[in-house]
Amino acid sequence: MSKTVPKEVDWKLIKGILKKTRKALRDITRRFRRIPDVDSFRTLRGRERRDSICMLFIAVGESFRQIDHRTNKTFLPLYPEIVWKDVIGFRNILAHDYFNINEMLLFNHCQTHLPLLLATVNRMIEDLEKEPC
């Protein structure tokens, strides 16, 4: 991990937030497996899954916003494979424009971005466990 990350950060708290975030991402992955195509979000059960996936993405985005704030914007940039402003921005879209959720955008986000995001969170946790800050 880079020396540019402030020492006064509560890394135990950050690791705890990341572990909760990883659980949420795993839950999204599990729920999304039952959505074979975007039209599946339009059934009663599909809408329930869509709503639960959206709620978890809101929590995930908020977690990264908090991590970014608590690390003085120095930790997330160590993982440039993720466009963090888009992850946090996706949370804002879901939270503030909830009744106009674009189901195709949600489907694509789950299908395309979720695997890399989960892998990156796993790596972040591993890095924090290997190198205590």
Angle, helices 11-32 vs 44-70, to 10°: value is 160
Angle value at C-alpha 85, between 40 and 96, nearest 5 degrees: 55
Residue 130's CB is within 10 A of a number of other CB atoms, namely 8
CA-CA distance, 133 to 126, in Å (whole number)?
A: 13
Closest CA to 53 of 25, 90, 26, 28: 28
Q: 23-37, 81-95, 119-133: which has the minimum mean pLDDT?
A: 119-133
Q: Are 117 and 82 in contact (CB under 8 A)?
A: yes
Tokens of 107: 């489907």
| pTM assigned to the model | 0.90
Supply the mean pLDDT for the chain: 92
pLDDT higher at 127 or 5:
127
Tokens of 36: 């074979």
Domain ranges for the chain, please list them: 11-130
pLDDT per residue over 25-34, tens digit each?
Answer: 999 999 999 9
- Give yes or no for residue 120 having a pLDDT over 90: yes
